[in-house]
Amino acid sequence: MSQAFDPSLPPGIPQDDGTVVTVGTFDGVHRGHWEVLQEIRQRALATGRRSVLLTFDPHPLRILRPEHAPSLLTTSVEKKEILAETGLNYAVFFPFTIALSRYEPRRFVEEVLVKRLGVKELVIGYDHGFGQGRSGDADTLRRIGEEVGFAVDVVPPVFADGEAISSSAIRRALKAGDPEAAALGLGRPYSLHGLVVRGDGRGRQLGFPTANLAVASSEKLIPAAGIYAVRGVSRAGTFDGALHLGPRPTFLGSPPSIELHLLDFEGDLYGEDVRVDFVSRIRDVRPFDSVSALVAQMREDVEEARGTLDVRRQMLREV
């Protein structure tokens, strides 16, 4: 029987029958990642072994080349929340260090995968690279596996709109303000968490009270500036909403903000963590000649958000 998901590898993990392992950064846990994770889960169930994901924290580039480190689709907390739904036995968040980056492929396999995880089957994605300078690949793993006693299998890419799904492609879509393309790759809407903090109260004055969100992690990817149709998830429930993300050019001197207006919601969210799911981009941020012109546009934005989200709900019911 499969054990409950454990977010870290405890000392003395049972290795009587060995494990089925995959290794990677898995930022976003997108549809391509999901194929790999379900493959190790099914193989583990078929053989009576335990399924193990080995991932790294922080992102390797954050240590090796911080100036080139990508913004994260999923923070460690978000990644754990998603992985909890995969049915895996263990997810190991392995500290990535300069010392680890210098491991030759064989050393990494023998000291980490074999000795610590008891690997008997290793499943990797089609573009997997590991070891010092990513010098190890699938052929390297197969050679080592034949010598030390584990099998290696490669899962092919998953495609969306003719392109192999990747974390990089999803980042590009979000930076271009295309949450729908990102969702196609992720298999779910892109989301971010924010703490509701006090703003200047201008939204309420204009007739559209907003929750001002502060994103805790500076590494989290923030989509392109714009007005979005979103869903907001809080302790009070899930609500349709419209989100302003970016500068506020109508009010000179006002800093950029992330402001969430929840439709048909009345209440106080100060101090709460709220998740925002990006559904569709409505328009660019632009300045208005007057406050009344801005308010008129906000009414249109809210109605467009409401209509878009109603249509999406109906589409999901029909699937």
Same fold, 19-160 and 190-318: no
Which residue from 189, 192, 138 is spatially nearest to 30, judged by alpha carbons?
A: 189
- Spell out the alpha helix ranges (H) of 154-201: 167-175, 179-186
Residue boundaries of the structural domains of the chain: 19-160, 190-318
Structure tokens belonging to residue 168 = 């990089």
CB 313 within 8 A of CB 238: no
Reduced DSSP (H G I as helix, E B as strand, rest coil) percent helix, strand, coil of the chain, to 5: 35, 30, 40
Which residue from 49, 33, 51 is spatially nearest to 41, judged by alpha carbons?
A: 51
For residue 262, the tally of other CB atoms under 10 A from its CB is 24
CATH fold of 19-160, please? Rossmann fold (3.40.50)
pLDDT in tens, 149-188: 999 999 999 999 999 999 999 999 999 999 999 999 999 9
pLDDT at position 318 is: 72
In this model, does residue 246 exceed pLDDT 50?
yes
Clarify whether 259 is annotated catalytic. Answer: yes
Which residue from 294, 283, 188 is spatially nearest to 231, judged by alpha carbons?
A: 188
pTM: 0.91
The DSSP output letter for 224 is P
Share of the chain above pLDDT 70, in %: 93
pLDDT in tens, 255-287: 999 999 999 998 889 999 999 999 999 999 999
CATH fold of 190-318, please? Elongation Factor Tu (Ef-tu); domain 3 (2.40.30)
> Which position among 259, 300, 303, 318 bears the catalytic label?
259
